[in-house]
Amino acid sequence: MSKKTIRDIDVSGKKVLVRCDFNVPQDENGNITDTRRIEGALPTIKYLIDHNAKVILCSHLGRPKGEVKKEFSLRPVRDELSKELGIEVKMADDIVGESAKKLTSEMKEGEVVLLENVRFDKREEENDEGFSKELASLADVYVNDAFGTAHRAHSSTAGVAQFLPAVSGFLIEKEIKFLGDALNNPERPFVAILGGKKVSDKISVINNLLEKVDTLIIGGGMAYTFLKAKGLNIGSSICEEDKLDLAKELMKKAEDKKVNLLLPVDVNMGKEFDKDTESKIVSIENMEDGWQGLDIGPKTIEEFTKVLENAKTIMWNGPLGVFEFEKFAKGTNEIAKILGSLNATTVIGGGDSSSAVEKAGCADKMTHISTGGGASLEYLEGKVLPGIDCLQDK
């Protein structure tokens, strides 16, 4: 990785401001229901504690839109962190106010302070220079370890780096290594699987991947736009009518680049968009009006598997059916299980793909699961991510 990490600088005795991604899901009583993002930040925090830094943590949680809202307080995160680290994590009542200044000025080496939700200040999302400067004034060094927000140019993800030496934590280092190696230096054959609802969400990703992959597999709702572009009747399946020409262009580009572009050959159709709807499996030539495709069928799973079994690098972003409904989760679950059984580098783009492999019980068998939905998508598009671009080069 061409960006400096915390290993490349001396942190001993220094106040280190770390941007983490503690945007964790909670139940109605404020209990954290999934601690993976907190666990993901621990290697960086522990390294800093072990190297005698004074560790100041910051993050957003939810969308408080610049207002202080109790339900978005980071206090439950503080409690979880204290438990995980085995030390008392002190919590500021504000971000750059009296409480934050007092706690951070009194810190000893190896201590940890958590600031309150950075999005309680509306200047955060505006990447306000004054707010960035105030944040920077609390510390000597800045570390970004929040890949999930690296595509946002906010004060705590990018702005603060103008005023402090800025390096990456271990989580961002890992993300760039796996996503970057898979994209730019893959062991071949390199296969990408794209799912999700809309072609429009993934146009740039498809364009970028067609320059790099040997095979591109398309499933999920977006497949029906491609199938209709091929002249097939797709019944009542989801379709972006205004993207039919684009789908044709992308199929032509794949042909010109000699990329094997695979679409479903059969689908599991439902009468309604409902978990208990009547369903049937039909070949793509026999899709009927009044029915909508909600998952890939068994022959498609077979075809996709044949290609995946020979792959050495696989990147997957987006589910292959409506996996929230048990009846239409088979395609996504089966492909997840196949990926888990392969001797290949398997990189899962964040968001729904992560939930899908988790749900299929295969998460621990993947080489890397990205922690950023939007960020990993933009990275796959070849975009520059502000939260990484602002870090010092090696």
**Reading across the β-sheet that carries 54-58, which strands appear in turn?**
90-91, 112-114, 54-58, 15-19, 141-144, 166-168
297 is catalytic: no
Round to whole Å and give the CA distance between 199 and 237. 14
Round to whole Å and give the CA distance between 30 and 38. 15
Query: What is the bridge-based pairing of β-strands 112-114 and 90-91?
Result: parallel
Exposed, middle or buried, 355 (CB in 10 Å: 0-12/13-18/19+)? middle
351 is catalytic: yes
Q: Which residue intervals of 210-329 are DSSP H helices?
A: 223-229, 244-256, 298-309
167: left (phi over 0), alpha (psi -120 to 50) or beta: beta
Single out the catalytic residue among 148, 159, 351, 372. Answer: 351
168 contacts 42 by C-beta, under 8 angstroms: no
Single out the catalytic residue among 15, 37, 123, 174. Answer: 37
29: tokens are 């009583």
Number of other CB atoms surrounding residue 159 within 10 Å: 25
Single out the catalytic residue among 46, 198, 257, 365. Answer: 198
Q: Which residue intervals of 220-372 are DSSP H helices?
A: 223-229, 244-256, 298-309, 330-341, 352-359
37 is catalytic: yes
Single out the catalytic residue among 66, 110, 374, 382. Answer: 374
Round to whole Å and give the CA distance between 128 and 126. 5
Burial 247-263 (b: 16+ CB within 10 A, else e): beebbeebeeeebebbb
275 is catalytic: no
Q: Which residues, 6 or more positions from 370, have their beta carbon under 8 angstroms from its beta carbon?
A: 147, 175, 178, 179, 347, 348, 349, 350, 354, 376
Which residues are catalytically annotated? 37, 198, 351, 374
